Chain A
């Protein structure tokens, strides 16, 4: 049975569920059912750990519609420990300056005032700094 689109999207956005390729073992996010590495079919769900590091970032001063209230905010490309890079907002930064290579972990937060482009999702993944010394 096909999983409804919004349920699939929810699993991706709330639990970072991607896919793993049965042919070449590549970990895929976003999931797309075809492996971009080897071109084979890849439908096996795979839940990412949500841990990674800042690959690059920028501080958005001129925010798009629906994000104005948060500006300025930091958005990043996060390289997950499993390999893929993911586009996300950083949160809970406090006074800490953001640097490339900074360890971060996924949290679920409100992503925009009025839901995403699908009109369905108000909540989704963001990443926050991994606190040194905090028991996990």
Chain B
């Protein structure tokens, strides 16, 4: 594969996001404006919005979720960015990662100097069953869905293959969920801003209040094994192995490298981008890895001139707990078949050698599908600039990485971010 370089450097100088969650009465526009305003405020030296030249919007399915298509000019209109070119891009749950890449390429090409990159999704207007059907359209509706599969089902089949090949157990996956809820409990923007143990306490309290028998769980694992509290969705994936249905938006500001110091005292440079595609799950020779993720990661590492060992922390696409374990292998942090051991040993915890999903990941922060890829960038921005508050990784950080998957890996985008000082 040729080692492509960007024709000129790109820097991240602002980032904002709405809270992720289920917001009755808020539309994707409201969430977008919330994120956009926070992005403007995050620019150290300020930005005159008139300097922005284009808007990229990642969105999976406003059409089906809200009955509203053609949303890029609407978002531009709601943020005063008209008549700028407004571009919507879609690659399922990787839509926002794709918007980021398109923004990077536009600046690197010399076409623009200042662009806004974003993602937005409003999912909770539909009942759960309709959300599942809408998400299913990201799979092959002719050759996968008729069998009775859903996305939890696909990832569950990957989990079955992974357990069979390497000896992981359903408990391994539960530990990933516990860890991500722990991280998310320190993120004020997270949908579940609570640890699993505090959610257990909440359930006990609510049972007591209603005069119902108070459930007795020994610990978090005991709770996660309870079929009533944590039902099986698609064996071995249970409810707490699945990311939630969410609303949310995330917005970042990209500029050409030479303009970075005009806007920011502490810009973050985007030094690697990679993207690859694949067929349906049944078109692959392997189920314990996502080949498009390996390809995208290798492109990004080559472009950045670094190796997986250089990455200080990563936000990975944990739409299901198994996906995080596979991601840590595909990104080269651990050997194939060793990711689950690393997860069980705590190597991916906030204070471990390779912190993964400090934001809480999609699991705890929430997964407004078309916004998640830029939501990941917001966390990398905060961590690299030392602005992540309670969940800040200790020590000096230089490289962060985002890994954003569409479907079961029909699309994957990987980006590498660098702090230089």
Question: Chain A interface (Cβ within 8 Å of chain B)?
Answer: 9, 30, 36, 55-65, 67, 70, 73, 75-77, 84-89, 100, 111-112, 116-118, 121, 124
Which A residues lie within 8 Å of B233 (CB)?
A: 61-62
Sample (6) of A-B pairs whose CB atoms are under 8 Å apart: A58-B157, A60-B234, A61-B235, A65-B133, A75-B153, A111-B147
A75 lies within 8 A of B148 (CB) = yes
Known: A56-B160, A76-B157, A77-B282. A117 touches B147 (CB 8 A): no
B136 lies within 8 A of A64 (CB) = yes
Minimal beta-carbon separation of A40 from chain B (angstroms): 17
B130, B144, B160, B281, most chain A CB atoms within 10 A: B160
Known: A56-B287, A87-B282. A65 touches B144 (CB 8 A): no
A100 lies within 8 A of B160 (CB) = yes
| A67 contact from B148, B156, B157, B161, Cβ within 8 A | B148
Which B residues lie within 8 Å of A36 (CB)?
A: 279, 283
Minimal beta-carbon separation of B16 from chain A (angstroms): 34
Minimal beta-carbon separation of B304 from chain A (angstroms): 31
Minimal beta-carbon separation of B32 from chain A (angstroms): 30
B235 lies within 8 A of A63 (CB) = no
Which B residues lie within 8 Å of A70 (CB)?
A: 148
What are the nearest 9 A-B pairs in CB distance?
Answer: A58-B156, A56-B161, A59-B235, A117-B141, A85-B282, A116-B146, A67-B148, A56-B157, A62-B233
Question: Chain B interface (Cβ within 8 Å of chain A)?
Answer: 129-130, 132-133, 136, 141-150, 152-153, 156-161, 164, 231-237, 279-284, 287
| B280 contact from A55, A87, A89, A124, Cβ within 8 A | A87
Which B residues lie within 8 Å of A61 (CB)?
A: 231-235
B235 lies within 8 A of A58 (CB) = yes
Given A55-B287, A60-B153, A85-B282, output 11 extra A-B contacts at Cβ < 8 Å. A58-B236, A58-B237, A62-B152, A64-B133, A64-B136, A65-B129, A87-B147, A100-B164, A111-B146, A111-B148, A116-B142
C-alpha spacing A56/B152, complex, angstroms = 14
C-alpha spacing A112/B283, complex, angstroms = 23
Closest to B130 in A: A65
Closest to B150 in A: A64
B147 lies within 8 A of A56 (CB) = no
| A57 contact from B143, B157, B279, Cβ within 8 A | B157
Which A residues lie within 8 Å of B132 (CB)?
A: 62, 64-65
Which B residues lie within 8 Å of A84 (CB)?
A: 282
A58 lies within 8 A of B153 (CB) = yes
B146 lies within 8 A of A112 (CB) = yes
Which B residues lie within 8 Å of A87 (CB)?
A: 143-144, 147, 149, 280-282
C-alpha spacing A100/B160, complex, angstroms = 9
| B234 contact from A58, A77, A117, Cβ within 8 A | A58
Which A residues lie within 8 Å of B148 (CB)?
A: 60, 63-64, 67, 70, 73, 75, 89, 111-112
Which B residues lie within 8 Å of A121 (CB)?
A: 146
Closest to A83 in B: B285
C-alpha spacing A100/B156, complex, angstroms = 13
C-alpha spacing A59/B235, complex, angstroms = 5
Which A residues lie within 8 Å of B150 (CB)?
A: 60, 62-64
C-alpha spacing A62/B161, complex, angstroms = 20
A59 lies within 8 A of B143 (CB) = no
Minimal beta-carbon separation of A12 from chain B (angstroms): 9
| A30 contact from B133, B142, B149, Cβ within 8 A | B142
A55 lies within 8 A of B161 (CB) = yes
